[in-house]
Amino acid sequence: GQNIDQPTEMTATEGAIVQINCTYQTSGFNGLFWYQQHAGEAPTFLSYNVLDGLEEKGRFSSFLSRSKGYSYLLLKELQMKDSASYLCAVLDSNYQLIWGAGTKLIIKP
């Protein structure tokens, strides 16, 4: 079966750095997405990785290792508004998105 694993919840301090991991086992791979979802709102797109390596976009970076079936989302200089759930999703060989359950990130002052 296809599976996406993420930690259920993480806590970090304002101004710090946090890394949210995602591991996947899917039938094929055509890219990995990270989405941010604030409570009660729709997910919004953060990043897309299809090649190995690190993609940096402001305070957020996303890393992919296809050989290890592993990705992480790195958030720097954390702000209170970063409190949200972060969803990892993988595009499989049929170009269907397989979603993880999300990681709830709690930022403390």
Binding interface with other proteins (CB under 8 A): 4, 30, 33, 40-45, 48, 87, 89, 91, 95-97, 99-102
Q: Under a CB-based contact definition with an 8 Å cutoff, are residues 43 and 87 in contact?
A: yes
Residues linked to residue 49 through DSSP beta bridges, in sequence order = 32
Residues linked to residue 63 through DSSP beta bridges, in sequence order = 54, 72
3-state DSSP call for residue 108? strand
Smallest gap, in angstroms, from Cβ of residue 40 to other proteins?
8
| Identity of the residue, 12 or 36, whose beta carbon is nearer to other proteins in the bound complex | 36
Smallest gap, in angstroms, from Cβ of residue 96 to other proteins?
7
Smallest gap, in angstroms, from Cβ of residue 102 to other proteins?
6
Chain-centre distance of CA 95, in angstroms?
A: 18
